[in-house]
Each structure stands twice: as structure tokens, then as C-alpha cells.
Amino acid sequence: MTADSGTTNTVGWQRRELSDGIASYRLDSWSKYSDFLETEVFGATEALKHKYIWRGQRRSDWSLDSSLDRLFRRLSLFPADAVEREKLSAEHLDSFKYATRGRRGLNPIQLDENGWWALGQHFGLATPLVDWTRSPFAAAYFAFEEYATDPTEQRIVWGMHQSAVKRKSDELLLGPHLDKGRPPVIEFFDPMSNENPRLVSQDGLFTRTPIGVSINQWIEKAFEGLSTAILLRIEIPDSDRLKCLRALNRMNINHLSLFPDLGGASRSTNLKLELDL
């Protein structure tokens, strides 16, 4: 990977790196977030043609890994062979299907493989899916909502150019598959099941990559040498957490709107103690 030397923007952010399709930015403060989006994303030339999806993460050192990848890695269950990785994944899903017997009510709808994964993700199953939202402000909420008990200087919002990744994945599907197991693509998935009402409130969707491949790694390999931003990595100071959450709350972006259930009501009530200070 070749690193861009970085450019400074006098209006409140710095581009720290641009290489292999990944652009990293650092904002001076949360107050610059909206201006950054308008200038660098939505207001740029041809930006209206771009279809970005967004994800917020609490720590700047976290990669875009699925929860199943993290679980397999923690348990040292990562064999080198791609077929074995997918076999472990399939066995994990079969265990979940078996465990759900009698727990989905009468006449539950039939689900395909990704539908099962999405259902499991909603209820805490480790899955190969990564969840995204079409709202960059909802993504910011997810980045900042949780209080960090471990030190972190920056919160992260990721933006991925969905249409560019879809085109590249379609190209790879037409070419030879050098790896065994699942096709080496990023798959996008919009569940239609009524069993995940949170996804509707969050304007959410999922991505899926082969087991053991993070989205960062996939982008770097698929867009090697490209100096166009396919994946945005936006750093926002952790010190602005409450400023961010108060501003988003005024936009009605909070746990009550994003999580339309008792869990959302509970977490919103807990967070209100902080926001009212």
C-alpha cells in the first residue's frame, strides 16, 4: 500500500491518507461533520451518482470484521483453508436453526441462508454479516452512543461506495474464482423479514464477505492502486461525544427512534442521565 502524504483543509478536517481505494480523514471536532459530508461526499462532483452506506464504530483501531470472524479468531478456530472456514460457518448456522425450534411463533416465515443470519444477528448470534445504515447521522450515533471505558481518542464513521463495490463484485463473479468456498465478493443484503423491526427504523442493510476476510482487506485488494475513495474512514474526537449525542438527539436520532422496542427505551433512559448533565 502506498500512502498519500495527506492534505490539510483549513475548514476543519485533514485527509491523512488515500490509497488502494481507502481515504482516511480526521475532523477537528464533531461540529465539522455535516460540513465535511456536504463538501467531501454529497457536494463533490458526481457525488449525486454515488450510493454510500455508513457504519459507526466506537474505537479507531477496530477493523471492519464480522462478529463471527472475531469469535472464530478469539477461539483460534481459523483453519487456513477457505472451504473449512465456510464449513465451520455452516455448522454454526445449523446449530442456531436447531436452537430456534419452537421459538419463532406459529407458522414462521421461511428464510433463506442470509435471512437466517440476519435473524440471528438481531438476537445476538455471531454472524458473517456486518450491519450498515443509509444515514451518516445514524452511523455517527452508533459510533458515539456507548461510553468508552477503555481509552480511545477517536470514534470512527465508515462510508462505503455501495455502487462501486457492487460493480467490482460483479466483475469478480464473471472471472475465475481463485479461492475455494464462497465467491470472493462483497454481498449486500436487505432482509424482508418482519422479525427485525430495528432494521427498518435504522434504514439498515447488511454486507457479507467470505469468512476471514474483513471489508478493509477486500477493498485494498480489489481496488489496489486506486486513488479514488471507495471506503471513507472518518475520525471524530471522542472528547466530543456528548456534543454529538445532544445534537443528534435534537434531530430525533436516538435509541427511541432507532430501536423501537423496550431495549431501546431502556438504553435511551440511561443515556438521558448523561445528556441532561
The pLDDT value recorded for residue 176 is 64
Longest dimension (CA), the chain: 60
In a domain, 107, yes or no: no
CA distance 275 to 277: 6
Mean of the per-residue pLDDT values of the chain: 87
In a domain, 2, yes or no: no
CA distance 36 to 13: 8
C-alpha cell at 269: 433512559
Q: Is the pLDDT of residue 80 over 80?
A: no
The domain of 119 spans: 7-102+112-275
In a domain, 238, yes or no: yes
In a domain, 98, yes or no: yes
Q: Is the pLDDT of residue 168 over 80?
A: yes
pLDDT tens per residue across span 81-123: 888 889 999 999 999 999 999 988 888 888 999 999 999 998 8
Helix (H, G, I), strand (E, B) or coil at 222: helix
Cβ atoms 29, 12 nearer than 8 A: yes
DSSP code of 30? G
C-alpha cell at 5: 502524504
Q: Is the pLDDT of residue 8 over 60?
A: no
In a domain, 40, yes or no: yes
pLDDT tens per residue across span 50-61: 689 999 999 999
In a domain, 65, yes or no: yes
CA distance 203 to 190: 10
The pLDDT value recorded for residue 1 is 40
pLDDT tens per residue across span 211-241: 999 999 999 999 999 999 999 999 999 999 9
Strand duo 231-237 + 7-9: pairing: unpaired
Residue 211's Cβ-count burial label (10 Å; 0-12, 13-18, 19+) is: buried
- Number of folded domains that form the chain: 1
In a domain, 1, yes or no: no
